[in-house]
Structure 1
Amino acid sequence: MNKSIFKLINIRSVVTLTLSSLIFQSCVPTKTVREEKKDLPEQFQNVASKDTTNSAQIKWKTFFNDEHLNALIETALVNNQELNIFLQQIDMAKNEIQARKGEYLPFVGLQAAAEVEKVGRYTSQGANDANTEIKPGKEFPEPLQNYKVGAFATWELDVWKKLRNAKKAAVMEYLSTVEGKNFMVTNLIAEIADSYYELQALDNKLKILTQNLELQNNGLRTIRLQMQAAKATSLGVQRLEAEVYKNTAELFSVKQEIVETENKLNFLVGRAPQPIQRNSEQFVEKEIDTMYVGIPSQLLTNRPDIRRAEYELQAAKLDTQVAKANFYPSFTLRAGVGLEAFQTKYLTSTPESLLYGLAGDMVAPLINRNAIKTAYYNANDKQLQAVFEYEKTILKAHIEVLNGLSKIDILKKSYEQKVHQVEALTNSIEITTKLFNAARADYMEVLLTQRDALESKLQLVETKKEQLAAKVNMYKSLGGGWN
């Protein structure tokens, strides 16, 4: 008889749960968010081959091949404050996974309590206590003490996978944070390399200005002697003096830039200001290695910012499922077991002092669900935002590579032309200097020739710096550096 009753109750419970689920599901709003697009061409524009060799897969130590630069990067990866701040965000995201995981496991707690209570005799409870005997001839004590020890548990049944999806979303957020750190590492390495090459370029500019000032001072001494011999006028002296003052001021400006660039590098490295070890010799002649870009689809795996956007999108999809599950009923089990008595000596007297309980709840939103609807619609909108962000990141990465390819090619051609320009103007300096010393050329020809030669040499150094910066930027655009 009892077994039949229990079977009937179980059947009714299942039927009730099923009907309730169908009713609530029919009332849940739906909003479809389109899938993300990540189509990329089979090869980069103006790249004939489909070779998958990719410079992004080269380790940064091998890619830069400069012991001083590599030492700076190694120190920065340990000491950079911004990077270390981001590492704490990763740790917090990891802790969030544990917190979400704990939500779909039972919560178990221990309880110990003691209380004293005095109720009025002319109340229902007081009158009942007065007429109750715990032993023949002995009433309830007054005031009434009570002692309790026990354990209790609550467990929300994750029927709709709301809690598990929330935990998966936390995992996606954690992975996104890790990729954010990788992207920061890539940018940090690129910024250090750019600043290092800029420092080398400034060293070469300082050297060129110093050599040019020495040449101009020699010319100034010559023209002063010519003026004393009435072979030149004071106008030539004044013009050459002005040029010397101008280049001297430029020399001081370059020295200040060197100080600021060194301090910038020390800041990125995360240490107090100190001289930066470097070798700036042969900077202009430094070879630019060939960059292998592979195929566009490799960007999806090599670029940390694309993977970060992808994880953010996955988290947004899971958050939408969690928001949708809030429309469905939640089921909670509560249980407790312990000992309770009004005197401690009875606390261990079982089964009289034993207490236990088991209850189950089903709670579902019925009226005024606007807040839940708003949360669901916002989750869908955030998911669509994540779709657009993911697509934008892919498009940006593709365009960055194309721009980098074009820039490397243009700078290579520009550098070759500037080399010829420097050679021609350097030769013209020797010619005009000889003519000037022989009084066959005036000071203006010397002045203009020296000025043009100086500008061409400085431009050559600047072009070499831009070439190296373009190489670093391409390495970053392809997704290199973080691994």
Structure 2
Amino acid sequence: MMVKKIIYTGFFAALVAVSVTSCKTPGIAQREENKNVPASYANNSLDSTNTATIKWKDYFTDPNLAALIDVALKNNQELNITMQEIEISKNEIRARKGEYLPFVGLGAGAGVDKVARYTNIGAMEATTDIRPGKEMPEPLQDYRLGLQANWELDIWKKLRNSKKAAVNRYLASIEGRNFMVTNLIGEIASSYYELLALDNQLAIVQQNIGIQNNALEIVKLQKESARVTELAVQRFRAQVLNTQSLQYDIQQKIVETENRINFLVGRFPQHVERSTQAFTDLVPAAVQTGLPSQLLANRPDIRQAELDLMAAKLDVKVARARFYPSIGISAGIGYQAFNPSYIFKPQSLMYNFAGDLMAPLINRNAIKAEYYSANNKQVQAVYNYEKAILNSYIEVANQLSRVGNLEKSYGLKAQEVEALNQSVNISNDLFKSARADYMEVLMTQRDALESKFDLIETKLQQMEAMVAIYRSLGGGWN
């Protein structure tokens, strides 16, 4: 009895020593995320009304643009690839959930065994009777059928935290999909407005070709009456040819922009239906930025970074739990016999039950490395989260300033176009009455054409700013 007591005491002491030693984890520096943002944007407005809450169909009211976005949300290849990544993340949850549930399997087997006679096992089988007068069969057959179960007790929540981390990554993949939707809608809208701008530029060029052809005919008539030389005729003709070549450059850009849209909506090149409204008549939608703190809830990329951070924190807990002892339970029940006719007899019943405790004691470098890496990734996730917040605020601030400055710029550009249109008429009249040189007419026509192009470009930038600030605020995915 005294010997057994000493043995049990020694085993218990060793068990405690293993547990205490294994529970020691290396200390590392932790870093908490900073969620603080300024109270308002540069306009100092504290109004919480936010354009990001508007549905994209209510924000982009052009029916042709809405139809393109609808098709893209179904057919875009990148979006469909992301949807499969979400399914992969969902399967990861199933895998992690299964790890902390018992593993139960049904097994069956058959075999035959012939041992040498002059061995301890052979000698025992030769002198063993199954029942009086009936020896053990030789060779010995073996048939087995039963259930086997294994279960790791998740006392340190290692497996449950691993499952929670998988859930957060699944949710993060959904937010990644939402962010892609926001960017996809923005890219289609920007390309659509670019297409409208190119249409209007082409119309202006064709209109100018007609004006310049009329001017060329007038110069030819003046040359016949010796009021101008052949030099003036050739300069006017060169101007017409230059403008005619410009229309083909614009037509090529139209084809490329149409095909960019076709790619985004997942279809082969075809004509893109669009509005015929004068591009300069478009009015950007009014935008209300709300409060910077709303970005944390509205921006999918911020929420994705936050969920990745939550998963990284859980990974640290999982890595820490690997230093602790793990407890496993295994059990089995079934039938085993050397003859199939005996296998379901009560005497053929077999079962087993065992428990084990295992803790890392010596050479824990791999566990330490995994733990350090998990902590480094958690700190990295903190920086990514803070970066997403800072980036979103700066994007909104930039676009907000851009909207205001473009509005002022467009007003001045419109006045410039009006002034140059009048200059063209004046220069033509002066040229007809020989009070202006033909170079003045050519330069005025060129300046007028460039100013109209600049006006359309500024309008395009206005529409793109309207799209960009909607995306920056986190609109479009809901």
- Distance of 1:135 and 1:51 partners within structure 2: 94
Shift of 1:18: 6.4
Show the counterpart of 2:67: 71
CA contact (8 A) 2:18 2:361 kept: no
Show the counterpart of 2:4: none
- Distance of 2:373 and 2:191 partners within structure 1: 43
- Kindly indicate whether residue 416 of structure 2 is the aligned counterpart of residue 421 of structure 1: yes
- Deviation digits for residues 201-237 of structure 1 (CA, Å, limit 9, x no counterpart): 0000000000011111111111112112211111111
Counterpart pick for 2:165 among 165, 169, 189:
169
Shift of 1:32: 2.9
- Distance of 1:210 and 1:282 partners within structure 2: 15
Residue 284 of structure 1 aligns to a residue whose secondary structure is helix
Show the counterpart of 1:191: 187
- Distance of 2:137 and 2:414 partners within structure 1: 107
Show the counterpart of 1:403: 398
CA contact (8 A) 1:201 1:280 kept: no
Shift of 1:439: 2.5
Residue 272 of structure 1 aligns to a residue whose secondary structure is coil
Show the counterpart of 2:438: 443
Shift of 1:435: 1.8
Counterpart pick for 2:275 among 279, 286, 291:
279
Residue 105 of structure 1 aligns to a residue whose secondary structure is coil
- Distance of 2:404 and 2:94 partners within structure 1: 50
- Kindly indicate whether residue 33 of structure 2 is the aligned counterpart of residue 36 of structure 1: yes
Shift of 1:23: 3.4
- Kindly indicate whether residue 209 of structure 2 is the aligned counterpart of residue 210 of structure 1: no
Question: What are the within-5 Å matches in structure 2 for residues 117-266 of structure 1?
Answer: 117-266=113-262
- Kindly indicate whether residue 369 of structure 2 is the aligned counterpart of residue 374 of structure 1: yes
1:325 alignment partner AA: A
- Distance of 1:62 and 1:17 partners within structure 2: 67
Shift of 1:12: 11
- Distance of 1:146 and 1:382 partners within structure 2: 53
- Distance of 2:168 and 2:262 partners within structure 1: 35
Could you list the structure 1 runs, at least 4 aligned residues long, displaced by more than 4 angstroms after superposition: 11-20
2:436 alignment partner AA: A
Go from structure 1 to structure 2 and tell me whether the alpha carbon gap of 1:213 and 1:157 turns closer, same or farther (over 3 Å shift).
same
- Distance of 1:54 and 1:436 partners within structure 2: 56
Identity of aligned residues (%): 56
- Deviation digits for residues 394-420 of structure 1 (CA, Å, limit 9, x no counterpart): 000000011011111111110000000
Residue 275 of structure 1 aligns to a residue whose secondary structure is coil
CA contact (8 A) 1:106 1:155 kept: yes
Show the counterpart of 1:304: 300
2:474 alignment partner AA: G
Shift of 1:136: 1.6
CA contact (8 A) 2:18 2:359 kept: no
Residue 151 of structure 1 aligns to a residue whose secondary structure is strand
1:99 alignment partner AA: A
- Distance of 2:166 and 2:150 partners within structure 1: 23
Counterpart pick for 1:361 among 356, 360, 363:
356
Shift of 1:245: 1.7
RMSD between aligned residues: 1.7
Residue 386 of structure 1 aligns to a residue whose secondary structure is helix
Show the counterpart of 2:476: 481
2:27 alignment partner AA: T
Q: Which runs of 5+ in 1 are unaligned?
A: 1-8
Counterpart pick for 1:318 among 305, 314, 325:
314
Q: Which moved more, 1:252-261 or 1:128-137?
A: 128-137
Residue 37 of structure 2 aligns to a residue whose secondary structure is coil
Go from structure 1 to structure 2 and tell me whether the alpha carbon gap of 1:360 and 1:13 turns closer, same or farther (over 3 Å shift).
farther
Show the counterpart of 1:5: none
- Distance of 1:75 and 1:14 partners within structure 2: 69
Show the counterpart of 1:23: 21
TM-score between the two structures when normalised by the length of structure 2: 0.96
2:456 alignment partner AA: V
CA contact (8 A) 2:179 2:300 kept: yes
Residue 412 of structure 1 aligns to a residue whose secondary structure is helix
- Distance of 1:132 and 1:191 partners within structure 2: 84
Shift of 1:160: 0.7
Q: Which moved more, 1:301-310 or 1:440-449?
A: 440-449
Counterpart pick for 1:391 among 383, 386, 393:
386
Go from structure 1 to structure 2 and tell me whether the alpha carbon gap of 1:334 and 1:13 turns closer, same or farther (over 3 Å shift).
farther
CA contact (8 A) 1:401 1:478 kept: yes
Show the counterpart of 1:3: none
Q: Which moved more, 1:12-21 or 1:472-481?
A: 12-21
CA contact (8 A) 2:19 2:359 kept: no
- Distance of 1:12 and 1:277 partners within structure 2: 85
CA contact (8 A) 2:22 2:360 kept: no
- Distance of 1:153 and 1:344 partners within structure 2: 24
CA contact (8 A) 1:146 1:343 kept: yes
- Distance of 1:435 and 1:63 partners within structure 2: 49
Go from structure 1 to structure 2 and tell me whether the alpha carbon gap of 1:462 and 1:111 turns closer, same or farther (over 3 Å shift).
same
- Distance of 1:367 and 1:361 partners within structure 2: 18
- Deviation digits for residues 7-41 of structure 1 (CA, Å, limit 9, x no counterpart): xx9x999998766543322x321213110001011
Residue 168 of structure 2 aligns to a residue whose secondary structure is helix
TM-score between the two structures when normalised by the length of structure 1: 0.95
- Deviation digits for residues 363-399 of structure 1 (CA, Å, limit 9, x no counterpart): 1111111111111001100000000000001000000
- Distance of 2:13 and 2:432 partners within structure 1: 111
- Deviation digits for residues 39-93 of structure 1 (CA, Å, limit 9, x no counterpart): 0111112x23200000000000000111000000001000111100100000110
Q: Which runs of 5+ in 2 are unaligned?
A: 1-7
Go from structure 1 to structure 2 and tell me whether the alpha carbon gap of 1:12 and 1:279 turns closer, same or farther (over 3 Å shift).
farther
Q: Which moved more, 1:356-365 or 1:282-291?
A: 282-291
